[in-house]
Amino acid sequence: MALIGKASPEDVSLHPIKYKWAYDLYNQAVRNTWFPHEITLKDDLQDWAKMTDDERHAVKFLMAFFNPAELIVNRSLALGVYPYLKSPECHLYLAKQMWEEANHCVAFEYVLETFPFDREKIFDLHLEIPSMLAKEAYINKYLIRMTEESLDITTIDGKKDFIRNLVATNIVMEGTWFYSGFMVALSFRQRNQLRNFGSMINWVLRDESLHLQFGINLIHNILEENAELLTEEFANEIRQIIIEGVNCEIAYNKDLFPTGILGLNADYVNQYVQYVADRRLEELGLPKYYNSTNPAKWMSGATDVYELVNFFEAQNTSYEVDGHASGKVETTKAE
């Protein structure tokens, strides 16, 4: 059984498991389950009262993009990824990931309800601000292709379209844009502000690191099984899609930081975006493009790719549910 293709009635047996990494990721994702209301955001309201207008703008601007973005990821998984995979273990993982994206959307709704925000005004930003519209248009361009009847997943062109959409949604949106936004969100906690909001972002980030690992494994396995896709031309095209995504984020960061806030400005965040994009290129086996160093070294604990690679071996001391089932030591929830 191949990974990519239209699932047939026979493709419903989990055993023998062919893509164990997908099943392992599913089990890890289940252990990572969390619920937004476990976090008491009210404690952060005192910090909010003391924050500057520029700092508040940054938080609102992040929420304006993240909230709809979670649902856009789900649309891409439902319309552009799930229907074109045959593997039951991949379907299991995607079902859990889709619940997580829904959970992230609800978590950000909880932020919008708890902070003194005008929800409608914030939510409308993603329909008005050109840099946000450009990010959504970038994703939709690839996603819409996946829904067209002319797409034939059995052809080289169809498989290329699948990879293009996966790179845009998984590598760029989840693996680069989200990491940049989370870095900004967590920078408040670095300065001892919005610590509970920071805990929530940490849990979202932990989920996203698995989403990214699933996407990267998926791309590698599909390329391995479809050697006809391994051309220099297609590799350059993938690289170009990622660079185009970085350009979208650089334009967005200008609007996120019209002037800059304490210890953070658009240049700093752009450098981080470029650093992360280089990591993603390397993870896909492509050469680096930016050669930027990590300006936010304090983030490496949360996002380091080597941590991702060693995820299953690592002693995970953070909150996990169903720890007994995995043979891991049950730990208490601590942030």
Judged by CB under 5 A, the stretch of 20-28, 60-68, 96-104, 323-331 that binds Fe ion is 96-104
Rounded least distance, CB 154 to Fe ion, Å: 28
Q: Does 60 bind Fe ion (CB under 5 A)?
A: no
> Which residues pair with residue 264 across a beta bridge?
261
- Amino acid present at 247: N
Residue ranges in 164-193 that form contacts with Fe ion under rule CB under 5 A: 174
* Least distance from Fe ion to the Cβ atom of residue 95, Å: 14
In the bound state with Fe ion, the residue whose beta carbon lies nearer, of 51 and 122, is 122
Residue closer to Fe ion, measured from CB, 88 or 181: 181
Q: Of the candidates 86, 91, 96, 104, which one interacts with Fe ion according to CB under 5 A?
A: 104
Distance CA 235, CA 233 (A): 5
Is 96 a binding residue for Fe ion by CB under 5 A? The answer is no
> Which one, 135 or 211, has the nearer CB to Fe ion?
211
Site string for Fe ion, 70-89 (x = CB under 5 A): x-------------------
Catalytic-residue membership of 93: no
Please give the structure tokens belonging to residue 110. Answer: 């909880």
Q: Tell me if 283 contacts Fe ion by CB under 5 A.
A: no
Q: Which of 93, 135, 167, 171 is nearest to 255 (CA)?
A: 135
Stretch that binds Fe ion, among 69-77, 190-198, 267-275, 312-320 (CB under 5 A): 69-77
Counting contacts by CB under 5 A, is residue 101 touching Fe ion?
yes
Token pair, residue 25, equals 């990721």
Q: Per the residue annotation, which of 26, 84, 110, 289 is the catalytic one? A: 110
- How far, CA to CA in Å, does 13 sit from each of 10, 22, 94, 176, 195? 7, 14, 16, 34, 44
Question: Is 249 an interacting residue with respect to Fe ion (CB under 5 A)?
Answer: no
Burial (Cβ within 10 Å: 0-12, 13-18, ≥19) of residue 57: middle
Strand, helix or coil for residue 229: helix
Pick from 108, 144, 145, 101: nearest CA to 126 = 108
Considering beta carbons, is residue 86 or 96 the nearer one to Fe ion?
Answer: 96
- Tokens matching residue 27: 């089990």
Residues 191-230 as x/- pattern, contact with Fe ion by CB under 5 A? -----------------x--x-------------------
Q: Which two three-digit tokens encode residue 213?
A: 């690992």
Spell out the residues 6+ positions from residue 109 whose beta carbon is closer than 8 angstroms to its own. 67
Q: Whole-angstrom distance between the N-terminal and C-terminal Cα of the chain?
A: 43
Residues with catalytic roles: 110
Where on the chain is the footprint of Fe ion (CB under 5 A)?
70, 101, 104, 174, 208, 211
